[in-house]
């Protein structure tokens, strides 16, 4: 409750303004008390901050009515932007969606989708999800939701997810257009829990090498990961590849639990410390079930945060060989703190350090988000994605691993074995097709047209063999031409191996999911091939 120092007010207008401010404060339930007083005949407000003061004055004294929630969200967003690049304000309307990315599950209808020509296309019906068994099929085009048209320019990923997701037990009516069926088909689906997978794929490669791809560090990541390792061991795996490429991180605790499986008792995994954040050390407890297996970890320039904690722990303890390209360079720790209105802030509270003592955070300036985000393009222009000699780390300090090897910080984890991008088959024609997602769009269109025929194949090897006998290349060239990319015979001939590999893999994914896609795609991947060569 606000404490008010009582004075005699010289005019009625001041009394009215004071009462207005008091009522405004009571309604808004401000956590921080304000002192309101008169000095030299003037109204004085001493809030806990100028921001609180200004927002209260606007709320209670501004000439017109305003959407104060929207204004507060903008103020909060702009304020947090002045901090480091990883602190973020999350409005109430976005919080559930943001949290669901790392949660073990969310509530929805259970479909994977893509948006093409302003229409939602069902790519797959998730096994065990609410939509399975209702009649909804891969290839269906969602054109109505709850008897309202759901196509057009306003359709985007965010709107689709907000519409199809919802409280568990609620119902949503879907109207779909299906190839070969004239009328619109309707299905009423009861929303339910949809598991969020962290492990994209786990399979045996040649020479008894088990391959596990982890896409994020969410609530269920450790359990999924250890289950995948155990299954691969049961199938005969004796050595492992853990793929953390394009894994932008998540919960530190999950990375620590994963690292614990490979380290000896007492080995340092990571430590963190901040101005108001006491030093915290995480050490292996010796209960790991894979302490002696050979291990390779794959990283690239999109591997960040918890991915770098895991890779750094393996590298600094000389426990695994790191192969790939320099990682992102995120050495900051965020904590999510909720507000009463349902919004939240993810605030950077500490830096973390790998066991050798290095902070791998790349340089940044407060409030300079755009420059920070452009780092990838700077790496591309400098040539470091192609040659290790072009890499320049900001920290010149020498750090030593457990066995005395030199490692450095200040801009990501440097792999033990660098693999530059292979440009052998790259051409401007191919790059444009890929960058504009025409390869992905064509693969889905081809799958949709031939779905009945392609669905006869139950494994990726036989499906790939079928696709290799199918000459879809002229059809793709015409498709790209219809999108404005004129054919170039010499460039098409040069890029043909890459094009066939990529589109065939996309078609396999559309039919068999990630379990089919990754074994096919990784078989010819340059970084994965280097890891397999390391084991030979």
Question: Do 434 and 414 belong to one domain?
Answer: no
pLDDT tens-place string over residues 474-491: 999 999 999 999 999 999
Q: Is the pLDDT of residue 442 over 60?
A: yes
Of the ranges 20-34, 284-298, 378-392, 440-454, which is most confident? 284-298
State the DSSP H helix or E strand holding residue 25, giving kind and residue range, or none if neither. helix 12-28
Domain assignment of residue 91, yes or no:
no
Q: What percent of the chain is modeled with pLDDT above 90?
A: 61
Q: Could you tell me the CATH number of the domain that includes residue 332?
A: 3.90.226.10
- DSSP conformation class of 234: H
Question: Do 130 and 23 belong to one domain?
Answer: no
pLDDT at 426: 93
Question: Do 293 and 394 belong to one domain?
Answer: yes
Of the ranges 23-32, 186-195, 471-480, which is most confident? 471-480
* pLDDT band for position 236 (cuts 50, 70, 90): very high
The residue behind tokens 């792999």 is 415
Domain assignment of residue 323, yes or no:
yes
Domain assignment of residue 405, yes or no:
yes
Question: Do 180 and 236 belong to one domain?
Answer: no
The 10 Å Cβ neighbour count of residue 214 is 29
Q: Choose one of 394, 418, 442: the last residue of a domain.
A: 418
Indicate whether this model's pTM tops 0.75. yes
Domain assignment of residue 136, yes or no:
yes
Of the ranges 83-87, 99-103, 416-420, which is most confident? 416-420
Question: Do 183 and 220 belong to one domain?
Answer: no
Question: Do 218 and 290 belong to one domain?
Answer: yes
Token couple for 223: 């359990």
The residue with greater pLDDT, 31 or 314, is 314
**Structural domain count, the chain:** 4
Stretch 446-452: mean pLDDT, rounded?
A: 92
Q: Could you tell me the CATH number of the domain that includes residue 143?
A: 2.30.42.10
Question: Do 444 and 526 belong to one domain?
Answer: yes
pLDDT at 180: 79
Question: Do 232 and 187 belong to one domain?
Answer: no
Q: Choose one of 391, 418, 445: the last residue of a domain.
A: 418
Please compute, for residue 412, the number of CA atoms within 13 A of its CA located in the half-sphere on the CB side. Answer: 24
State the DSSP H helix or E strand holding residue 26, giving kind and residue range, or none if neither. helix 12-28
Return all residues near 420 (Cβ < 8 A) that are at least 6 apart.
325, 385, 386, 387, 388
Burial group, residue 431, by CB count within 10 angstroms (0-12, 13-18, 19+): middle
The residue with greater pLDDT, 497 or 8, is 497
pLDDT at 12: 40
Question: Do 413 and 433 belong to one domain?
Answer: no
Q: What percent of the chain is modeled with pLDDT above 70?
A: 91
Query: What is the separation, in whole angstroms, between the first and last Cα of the chain?
Result: 72
Q: Is the pLDDT of residue 340 over 50?
A: yes
pLDDT at 48: 63
Q: CA nearest 215: which of 196, 194, 199, 232?
A: 199
Domain assignment of residue 86, yes or no:
no
- List the beta bridge partners of residue 400: 406
Question: Do 259 and 324 belong to one domain?
Answer: yes
Q: Can you give the residue range of the structural domain that contains 329?
A: 199-340+348-418
């Amino acid at each position: 409750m606000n404490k008010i120092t009582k004075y005699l007010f010289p005019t009625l207008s001041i009394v009215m303004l004071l009462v207005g401010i008091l009522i405004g404060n009571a309604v808004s339930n401000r956590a921080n008390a304000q002192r309101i007083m008169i000095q030299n005949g003037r109204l004085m407000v001493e809030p806990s901050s100028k921001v609180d003061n200004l927002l209260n004055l606007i709320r209670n004294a501004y000439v017109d009515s305003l959407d104060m929630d929207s204004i507060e969200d903008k103020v909060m967003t702009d304020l947090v932007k002045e901090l480091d690049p990883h602190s973020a304000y999350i409005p109430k309307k976005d919080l559930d969606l943001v949290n669901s990315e790392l949660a073990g599950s969310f509530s929805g209808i259970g479909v994977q989708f893509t948006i093409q020509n302003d229409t939602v296309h069902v790519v797959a019906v998730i096994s065990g999800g609410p939509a399975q068994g209702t009649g909804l099929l891969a290839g269906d085009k969602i054109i109505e939701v709850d008897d309202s048209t759901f196509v057009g320019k306003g359709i985007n990923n965010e709107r689709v997810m907000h519409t199809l997701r919802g409280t568990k037990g609620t119902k949503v009516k879907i109207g779909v257009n299906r190839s070969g069926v004239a009328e619109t088909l309707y299905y009423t689906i009861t929303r339910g829990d949809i598991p969020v997978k962290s492990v994209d794929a786990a399979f045996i490669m040649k020479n008894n090498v088990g391959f596990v791809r982890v896409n994020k560090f969410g609530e269920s990541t450790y359990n999924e990961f250890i289950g995948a390792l155990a299954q691969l061991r049961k199938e005969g795996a004796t050595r492992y590849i853990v793929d953390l490429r394009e894994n932008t991180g998540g919960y530190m605790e999950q990375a620590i639990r994963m690292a614990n499986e490979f380290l000896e008792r007492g080995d340092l995994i990571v430590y963190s410390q901040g101005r108001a954040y006491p030093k915290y050390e995480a050490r292996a407890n010796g209960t790991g079930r894979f302490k002696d297996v050979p291990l390779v970890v794959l990283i690239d320039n999109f591997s960040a945060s918890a991915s770098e904690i895991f890779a750094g722990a393996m590298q600094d303890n000389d426990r695994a060989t790191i192969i790939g390209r320099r990682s992102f360079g995120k050495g900051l720790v965020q904590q999510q703190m909720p507000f009463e209105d349902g919004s939240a802030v993810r605030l950077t509270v500490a830096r973390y350090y790998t066991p050798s003592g290095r902070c791998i955070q790349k340089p940044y300036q407060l409030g300079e988000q755009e420059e920070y985000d452009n780092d990838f393009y700077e790496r591309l222009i400098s040539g470091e994605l192609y040659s290790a000699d072009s890499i320049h780390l900001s920290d010149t300090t020498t750090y030593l691993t457990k066995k005395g090897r030199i490692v450095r910080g200040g801009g990501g984890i440097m792999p033990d074995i660098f693999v530059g991008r292979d440009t052998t088959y790259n051409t401007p024609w191919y790059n444009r097709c890929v960058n504009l997602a025409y390869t992905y769009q064509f693969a889905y269109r081809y799958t949709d047209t031939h779905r009945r025929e392609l669905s006869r194949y139950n494994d990726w090897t036989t499906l790939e063999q079928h696709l290799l006998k199918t000459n879809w290349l002229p059809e793709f060239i015409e498709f790209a031409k219809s999108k404005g990319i004129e054919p170039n015979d010499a460039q098409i001939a040069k890029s043909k191996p890459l094009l066939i590999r990529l589109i065939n893999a996309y078609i396999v994914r559309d039919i068999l999911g990630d379990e089919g896609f990754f074994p096919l795609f990784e078989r010819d991947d340059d970084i994965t091939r280097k890891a397999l060569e390391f084991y030979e």
